[in-house]
Every structure is written in C-alpha cells, then in structure tokens.
Amino acid sequence: MHIVVVTPLNFGPGEYQNMGDVAMLQVAVTRLSELWPNARIEVLTDSASDLRRFCPAAVALSRPDCACWLSDDFFFSRLQRFLPGGALIQFHALKRWVGFRCPAVIGALTDLRLKLRDPKGLRKNLNPFNDAMKACDLMVLCGSGGFADSCREWNLFVLAAMAAAFRRGKSVVMFGQGFGPLSDPIVLSWAKHVLPRVRLIGLRGTRGDKELLKTVGVHSSKMITTGDDALELANQVPVAAQRDAVGINLRVAFYSGIQSEVIGRVGAVLQSLAERHHATFAPLPIAFHECANDRESIRQLLAGIGVESDGGSTLDTPSKIMGQTACCRVVVTGAYHAAVFALAQGVPVVCLSNSSYYEAKFKGLEQLFGAGCTTITLSDPNLTEKLRDAIEDAWVSADKLRSPLLNSAVQQIDKGREAYRSIRELFGREPRAKRAEAPARAARVL
C-alpha cells in the first residue's frame, strides 16, 4: 500500500516549528500505520532531520517544487505583473485548464524552465517526486488550517499536489482540515476544480467550513466533522497532581490581528487573577518561527507584569507542551492549538481573537466543546471587563467543566479514528502482488 500524505510542514529547513502541525502529522502517521502495518512512510520534506526527530518511523522524500504550474512566479511572472485583477483570474483559469488537460505540457515546460534557470536546485528532486506519485495508491492531506486568505502559497501548493494525484488516477482524502475564511478568487477558482474530486474531507470544525466547501462544489456527503487530530495525543497525557497554573499564549502575527499594544491590557487582567488565586503562569508556545514567535510574545506579556520568563524556550515538542498544559487549571490563548491541547485534557480555555481567521477557528471550538471554551475579541471596547469575567468564570468552574470537556474530546477522537478507518473501504484487500512485496512498499507522506 502506497500512501502520499501532504502536510504543512514542508516549506524549508527548520519549518517543523509549529507544534500543532507536528502533532497532527504524528497522529496521521500513527493512524495510517495502524491501518496498514506493513506500510513504509515517506514524508515529502525539506528537513529530513526534523522528520527523523518527530516521526522516526518515516523516511524523508526530498520536496521538489511540485507546485510549479500553480506558483505565481514560476512561469510568466513578468507577464502577470501587468495583468489587471480580472485578467489575472482568467490567466490562472487557462493555466488550470492546461494543467488538468495536458499534463505533458506541464512536464515539458517545467523541464525547459529548470534547464534554463534553476537557482534553487529543484530539478534533481523532480524524478523522485514523479516516481512517488506513480507508485502511490492514495494521497492523504493531514491536519492543517491553511485553506484561508492568509495562506495563498500553501493553498496553491496543496491544490497542485492533489491535481497531480488526480492526473494519475489516484484517490485523495483529507483529515483534520480547517477551511476559511477564504475569498481569494484565484484560490477559489482552483478549488472548484480540485476539491469536489476528493473522496472524503474530515473537518476540524472551523465555523463556516461546510458552507465554504459547498460553494466550491463539494457534496455534503463527502464531509465529516471530526475535530482536530491532535486531540488524541493531548488526551493521552497523564493528569497532573497539581493543576493550579494559568496557561499562557499570545499569538502576535500578521494573520492574527493581535498587535503588541494589547499585551499590556491582557497582562493587567492576568496579574489581577494571579493575585486573587495565588496562581502561577505556564507558557504554552505553539509556533516559534519568523512569522509568529509565541515564545517572545509570551515573554513580553509576562515581563509587563513583573514575571521573568523565557517564554517556554525548552518546550520544543508537542509532548512537552501538552505536559505543561496538564499543570494548568485554565488556559488563556491566542493560538488555536494551545486551546486544542487544553480542551483535550479537560482544561477550560479563554481564546483571544482579533481577526476573522481566528474568530472562525475559536468559534468552531466553542461549537464542538460548548461550555469551557470562550472567545474574547480583543478589539471589544469592554475588553478588560469581559476578559476578567471570562477567566474568572473558567477558574471557578474548572472542576465542574473537566468531565464534559473530556467526554467531548473522546467523542471527537472516536470520530477521527472512524474517518481514518473508512478509507480502507476505498481499497478493500490489497492485490496479491502488492501483498507479496509489502516489506519494501512505501506509504508516502508528502
């Protein structure tokens, strides 16, 4: 059995720096290995060392620029700079038509382009990728929140990878996906021609995700809400003997809408809570890369209230962050996966949002978990009062909320596992020839 799994952790060395995405990849590899124990897993990645660290059972497959045809700057970049919006959309539609109808043209153009100019050394990896695509039986997209307006490069890469699979007659399924808000006309144009062909789409519950998928032609029978795949790892963490800390995360990034000026207001509320309940603070950094450094924003937040902290610099694996979460009575977070890790362990969460992207993610968690998950909009004129009341309610109700939150997490985990098991029906028994060569086969994670 050959499987290709697409993960958001394949854009440059060291990009395994979002522990939410890492946790979802770990769950995907584990579940697929359980379904097909003899499968060998290859991950399409630019960082083989990171892959060995987090998924030692997997094997790295060097990532080519398999999104060449969809990339904004790979072909005709100078021409596209002069096209108005409507003409640019039509130009992408033409590229899409050629890509789907004439894949040989793509291959010829890509080969010619890389012969003439290949500053990134992409050409040497094209054959391994093409061989992997020819050999695979199934492509799986593991958990991601990338189908949104802030992630055009990722959107086009994923759609290109799926299109490559469809051109070769492969089946594609998706798990733990977050969709929206998405209004990019070029991405939507490509999505309308790709996503309806996906066999099954497991959703993690972003608000408005099903409505968005319906607008691009995906039938409701192909959608199932399973919650986030990372719930399973966090739910397995042993209960801490003492749960008296306040878990902290603040996502300062261009896509979060949270700017440094709100740090002081949030810090003042946290300081007041700590004084009333003699609570300590536990940093819960999820991302620490150039676009979003949770460690630095947490450090600044705590420094503003006189608490020295390195922002959780030693918490560099999902298991370490989940272990820290187990010591918390309440979590206050601007990062989605800090909330997921907490709710999976029965810890109530107060979510900090200041963009439509995070509003959709956090409101989706509210729908899945109910009481115990509250979203506060940081632009609210009554921010101080609302944030104080929400954190106080979560602190006082933590013991009562624990069991319902855990039950909800377990139900979502069961749905996620059931969705994975359902893909076996796509294949039934493996062909005899493939069973005979099982030890050498590869489940390819893209």
**pLDDT of 387-427, one tens digit each?**
999 999 999 999 999 999 999 999 999 999 999 999 988 77
With CA atoms as reference, report the closest residue to 201 among 180, 181, 182, 220.
Answer: 220
Q: How confident is the model at residue 438 (pLDDT cuts 50, 70, 90)?
A: very low
- Average pLDDT of span 297-317: 94
Place of tokens 């009481």: 371
* Domain definitions of the chain by residue range: 3-225+427-445, 235-410
Q: How confident is the model at residue 136 (pLDDT cuts 50, 70, 90)?
A: confident
Using DSSP's 3-state secondary structure scheme, residue 254 falls into coil
- The reply to whether the predicted model has a pTM over 0.85 is yes
As a whole number of angstroms, the distance between CA 400 and CA 144 comes to 31
- Average pLDDT of span 267-276: 93
Residues, the chain, total? 446
Half-sphere exposure of 388 (CA within 13 A, CB side): 13
Q: How confident is the model at residue 310 (pLDDT cuts 50, 70, 90)?
A: very high
Per-residue model confidence (pLDDT) at position 69: 53
As a whole number of angstroms, the distance between CA 13 and CA 51 comes to 10
Mean pLDDT of the chain: 86
Class of domain 235-410: alpha beta
Helices 263-277 and 294-303, axial angle in degrees (round to 10): 60
User: In sequence order, what are the residues at sequence separation of 6 or more whose Cβ sits closer than 8 angstroms to the Cβ of residue 165?
Assistant: 4, 133, 136, 139, 171, 172
| Residue 77 φ then ψ, to 5° | -65, -40
Is 259 a residue whose pLDDT tops 80?
A: no
**pLDDT of 83-112, one tens digit each?**
777 777 777 777 766 766 666 776 677 777
- Average pLDDT of span 170-185: 94
**356 vs 91: which has the higher pLDDT:** 356
Is 434 a residue whose pLDDT tops 50?
A: no
Is 140 a residue whose pLDDT tops 60?
A: yes
Q: How confident is the model at residue 441 (pLDDT cuts 50, 70, 90)?
A: very low
**63 vs 161: which has the higher pLDDT:** 161
Q: How confident is the model at residue 276 (pLDDT cuts 50, 70, 90)?
A: very high
Q: How confident is the model at residue 298 (pLDDT cuts 50, 70, 90)?
A: very high
As a whole number of angstroms, the distance between CA 176 and CA 32 comes to 14
Is 117 a residue whose pLDDT tops 80?
A: no
Share of the chain above pLDDT 70, in %: 86
Q: How confident is the model at residue 219 (pLDDT cuts 50, 70, 90)?
A: very high
Helices 85-101 and 103-116, axial angle in degrees (round to 10): 110
Is 443 a residue whose pLDDT tops 80?
A: no
The partner residues of 172 in beta bridges, in order of sequence, read 139
**332 vs 160: which has the higher pLDDT:** 332
- Strands 349-353 and 328-333, by their bridges, are parallel
Is 13 a residue whose pLDDT tops 60?
A: no
Place of tokens 């099903």: 210
In contact, 279 and 320? CB cutoff 8 Å: no
